[in-house]
Amino acid sequence: MEALASLENSAVAQFILGYTWAFYGLLAVHAFGMAGVVGGSIMLSLRVLGFAVGVPVAGFEFLKRVAAWSFVANAGSGILLYFTNAKALTVLWTFQIKMASILLGGILLWVLWRQISPYKADADHRYDGKAKAVAAATIFFWIAAIVSGRYIAYTLPVGF
């Protein structure tokens, strides 16, 4: 807990908490990053599940870069926001669910990208059950990350 307290007392955390624009600016970056990661992940997953079959998967390559850069923005802003309340967040069940969901959603998205390619689709541009199961699980875990992340505000101890 001492390491967590030192994060909360760091110059970075004090700066973020001392300037309203810094805290809310980081929240805005976090929201935009989430939109890029989750939006791109869900669009790709829905395509694998059979929606918009006329759109070739190769067209989603741009979304891969958007999701990657959005993840970087999201991780960076999330780490900085974590510094401001590290002790309370670390033991908070909603935060733990969020972190686990992000980890699983990210791994599944990586697996999904490795499973799909134009040559792995059938003649009708559809994917097998394994790819569809990974796509459905990817959607589930990203939605779980969003819901648990939003729920953090309602489960934090009073006073933050």
Q: Is the pTM of this model over 0.95?
A: no
In this prediction, residue 95 carries a pLDDT of 97
Residue 99 forms part of a structural domain: yes
In a domain, 67, yes or no: yes
* pLDDT at position 136 over 90: yes
Residue 109 belongs to domain spanning? 2-155
Most distant pair of Cα atoms in the chain: their distance: 59
Q: Express each pLDDT in 58-105 by its tens digit.
A: 778 888 899 999 999 999 999 999 999 999 999 999 999 999 999 999
9-26 pLDDT, tens digit each: 999 999 999 999 999 999
Give me the number of domains the chain comprises.
1
Q: Does a structural domain hold residue 160?
A: no
Residue 62 lies in a domain: yes
Using CB atoms within 10 Å of the CB of residue 129, give its burial: 0 to 12 exposed, 13 to 18 middle, 19+ buried.
exposed
